[in-house]
Chains A and B, each alone.
Chain A
Amino acid sequence: MSGLMTVFYKELADAFSRWRFIILFALVLIAGIFAIYLAAQSISEAVEEMPTELVFLRLFTTSGENLPSFLTFIVFFVPIVGIALGFDAINSERNSGTMSRLLSQPIYRDAVINGKFLAGVVTITILMTSIILLVAGIGLRMIGVAPGAEEVWRLMFFLAATIVYGAFWLGLAMLFSIFFHRVATSALATIAVWIFFIFFMFMIAGFVADLIAPIDQTSSYQETVRNAQLTIMVMRASPITLYQEVVSVLLVPQLRTMGQLLQLQTSGVYEYMLPNPLSFDQSLLIVWPHLVVLVALTVVCFAISYIKFMREEIRST
């Protein structure tokens, strides 16, 4: 136990003193501030036309004219944070010769990997909490409406889901850092997975859906819906889609279903939705399965890393 805490403290201290962390923090913070600033501007301009309840949450989901919403930035950047914190966790120690020195100390071997993962998760937590608090503060000053209790709850769950999402990417990056011996390879491999999910997943999903349920101009309404449903089903294989749906429902209380409507919502079309929002527990109920899958994916990633790391032999060469 003392071994775990020692590794944890050291890794945490390392994470915060690295340039890597400072750059990431600055990047996400600047993107966040811009997104919130523009969102607050467009909210105060259109304040007469829109319902005023739960307006604070809209800070995070409204996109400005040229800039995507805060939420879109988070979906995009959190994986990079996770990857940056974990891609060289194990193989850099192995390459620099510190691993065998570390493992010849009287600690259980899993203390090393647990400590590193835990430190990564705590780093993501601190980073995301401070960024969300900072941008929320700026938004609060700009629109002048304090968040209600329900909005605070929703934001807290949003934060929790973001941490899980970040932990998934951290776990994946650490997994690759165990499998690949070169740091560059493991970094590229994780980035490749991220690019695949973010840019290619919807193409593949569309392709699969067209293959199973092809549509053209003459297709009936049912056929079109089936095609769209298939697309979303395939898309949900990606943790990015899962996370996106979870946080959309959490931050847009009007959202009562996930699927086609979501696409309309994220482009800011509120007219299509029933104006009265869902209560928080109802929203949570909708995203619960998604959240569970996200946690499960993270656990699986970490479990594979753990087993691989524990079984690995220390060799002389």
Chain B
Amino acid sequence: MQPVIETVDLTKAYNGTTVVDRLNLRIEEGELFGFLGPNGAGKTTTILMLLGLTEPTSGVARICGYNSTREPLKVKSISGYVPERVGFYEDVTAHYNLAYIARLNGLSEELVMQRVSEALDIVGLSEVARHKVQTFSRGMKQRLAIADILVKMPKLAFLDEPTTGIDPEGVKEMLDLIAKIAEERKMTVILSSHQLHQVQQICKRVGIMIKGKMVVEGSLDQLGREVLAGGRFQVEVKLTEITSVIVDSIKRIDGVVGVERSGDLLLVSCQKDLGPQIAKAIVDNNGLLLQMKIQSYALEDIYMKYFTEA
């Protein structure tokens, strides 16, 4: 099946500095893709190239088979975009702002009215539809931005940092809203963010971009395994003497993914907290346990690991 987004060696350089470096990305229909990376990693530039707003230095970007550079109008008519610092015409109403966008998409006047009130309804702003945007809070403006893409009914949507500057509860609502819309409308969503725990809540698949390169890409579970060579927990055990019998018995415990020796320490990776079971295995095999430390790794740590490496 044809992917919704496909890039082949997509590269962008500004005055010699490479902002996006030979990016190869493939996103399937209906996916909710988390696009992670620190500020300045090249996420926004990638999105702009995909939308055909910025020309790539080399490489190709395709949206539903349309070349973003050559057929930007086709691309723009099927994709919605919420920029990072989204803005509206402040001195007119929310309704007017959305209707303008709808008209720019060539909708008939009847359809404009229908879609606008529908979109405002979904994001819960229909009561303030006739209020000027300048009276809106930051969170309301972000929701208005979501309504802005709904009016268009795009096949896919790029949301660039849609949660910046809103309170935690607002973030939660916003993410739920995005997830709900993506599911109901069968819309492919690319959610760009630098906050992993937010992306984690709704995205099944993430890509981490650092300094213009996609360092890792895959489903969340898969990523966890790759990074820690297996488990989400790591148990560090110190013994008086390490024998192969002990090592073997630990390996046999259900849920242990790997055992590694480093000096007089044993590093055990496992899927869940297996501290007691490991202690028992050691004692059963006549080992003397001196110390045990259990570390759990959230994806946050995986993410941080990449950050520090970069």
Q: Do A and B bind each other?
A: yes
Which residue of the partner chain B has the closest CB to A106?
B77
Binds A, one of B79-87, B168-176, B207-215, B270-278: B79-87
A6 CB within 8 Å of chain B: yes
CB neighbours of A103 from chain B (8 A): 53
| B54:A6 contact, CB within 8 angstroms | no
Interface status of B48 (Cβ within 8 A of chain A): yes
Measured as residues with beta carbon below 8 angstroms from the partner, the interface class of chain B is 20 to 34
Q: How far is the CA of A214 from the CA of B65 in the complex (A)?
A: 72
Q: Which residue of B lies closest to A7 (CB)?
A: B104
Given contact pairs A2-B106, A105-B105, A97 touches B86 in the complex (Cβ within 8 A): yes
- Cβ proximity bits B70-82 to A, threshold 8 Å, 1 near / 0 not: 0001101101111
A101 touches B83 (CB 8 A): yes
A14 to B96, CA, bound (A): 12
Closest to A103 in B: B53
Q: Complex: how many Å from CA A100 to CA B82?
A: 9
B87 touching A105 by the CB < 8 A rule?
no
Inter-chain contact total with CB atoms closer than 8 Å: 69
| Bound form: Cα–Cα A269–B144 in Å | 64
Closest CB in chain A relative to B46 CB, distance in Å: 9
> If the complex has contacts A10-B100, A97-B83, A101-B86, are A106 and B53 also in contact, measured as CB distance less than 8 A?
no
Using Cβ atoms and an 8 Å threshold, which residues of chain B touch A281? none
**Interchain CB contact under 8 A, A98 and B88:** yes
B284 interfacial by beta-carbon distance below 8 Å: no
B24-57, CB < 8 A from A: 44-45, 48, 51, 53-55
* Of B54, B77, B89, B106, the contact of A98 (CB 8 Å cutoff): B89
- When the two chains form their complex, are residues A101 and B101 in contact, meaning their CB atoms are under 8 A apart? yes
Interface size, chain A (Cβ < 8 Å): 22
Q: Is the Cβ of A104 less than 8 Å from the Cβ of B76? A: yes
**Residue of B at shortest CB range from A98?**
B87
B44–A316 touching, CB < 8 Å? yes
- CA–CA, A315 and B55, complex, Å: 11
Determine whether B103 belongs to the interface, using a CB cutoff of 8 Å to chain A.
yes
The residue from B55, B104, B106 contacting A102, defined by CB atoms under 8 A apart: B104
Given contacts A97-B85, A101-B83, A313-B54, contact A107 B90 (CB under 8 A): no
| Shortest Cβ gap from A118 to chain B (Å) | 16
A101, B177: Cα distance in complex, Å: 20
The answer on a CB contact under 8 Å between B84 and A316 is yes
Q: Closest Cβ of chain A: how far from B38's Cβ, in Å? A: 13
Asked, given contacts A105-B76, A106-B105, whether A316 binds B89 with beta carbons under 8 Å apart, the answer is: no
B77→A314 contact, CB < 8 A: no
In the complex the two chains form, what is the Cα distance from A96 to B104 in whole Å? 19
- Per-residue interface assignment for chain A, residues 1 to 36, with 1 indicating a CB less than 8 Å from any chain B CB and 0 otherwise: 011001100100010000000000000000000000
The answer to whether B81 touches A104 (Cβ under 8 A) is yes
Kindly name the residue among A104, A314, A315 whose own CB sees the greatest number of chain B CB atoms within 10 A: A104
Contact A314 B54 (CB under 8 A): yes
Q: Is the CB of A104 within 8 A of B100?
A: no
| A101→B87 contact, CB < 8 A | yes
How far, in whole Å, are A7 and B101 apart by their CA atoms in the complex? 10
Question: Given the interface contacts A6-B100, A96-B87, A316-B48, does A101 sit within 8 Å of B54 by beta carbon?
Answer: no
Instruction: State which of A10, A14, A100 has its C-beta within 8 Å of the C-beta of B81.
Output: A100
Q: How far is the CB of A104 from chain B (nearest CB, A)?
A: 4
Interface status of A108 (Cβ within 8 A of chain B): yes
Contact with B along A100-138 (1 / 0, CB 8 A): 111111111000000000000000000000000000000
CB atoms of A106 and B148 under 8 A apart: no
Contact A315 B101 (CB under 8 A): no
A107 to B88, CA, bound (A): 18
List of A residues within 8 angstroms of B74 by Cβ: 106
- The residues of A that contact B54 with a CB separation of less than 8 Å are 313-315
B81 neighbours in A (Cβ, 8 Å): 100-101, 104
* Chain B residues within an 8 Å CB radius of A3: 104, 106
A100 touches B53 (CB 8 A): yes
B17, chain A: closest CB distance, angstroms: 13
A255 to B74, CA, bound (A): 58
Assuming the contacts A2-B106, A98-B89, A100-B53, asked whether A105 and B83 have C-beta atoms less than 8 A apart, the reply is no
Residues of B within 8 A of A100 (CB): 53, 81, 83
User: Which residues on the B side are within 8 Å of A97 (C-beta)?
Assistant: 83, 85-87
Looking across the interface, which residue of chain B has its beta carbon closest to that of A313?
B54
In angstroms, Cα B103 to Cα A97, docked, is 19
Cross-chain contact B76 with A101 (CB below 8 angstroms)? no
With A100-B53, A316-B45 as given contacts, are A106 and B87 in contact (CB-CB < 8 Å)? no
User: Would you list the 10 A-B pairs with minimal beta carbon distance, nearest first?
Assistant: A97-B87, A316-B44, A106-B77, A104-B81, A96-B87, A105-B104, A314-B53, A106-B76, A100-B83, A6-B103
Q: A101-B86, A104-B51, A314-B48 are in contact. List 17 more A-B contacts (CB 8 A).
A: A3-B106, A6-B100, A14-B89, A96-B89, A97-B83, A97-B85, A98-B88, A103-B53, A104-B53, A104-B80, A105-B104, A106-B106, A313-B54, A313-B55, A314-B54, A316-B44, A316-B48
**What are 19 A-to-B residue pairs whose CB atoms are below 8 Å?**
A6-B104, A97-B83, A97-B86, A97-B87, A98-B88, A101-B82, A101-B83, A101-B88, A102-B104, A103-B53, A104-B79, A105-B76, A105-B101, A105-B104, A106-B73, A106-B105, A107-B76, A314-B54, A315-B54
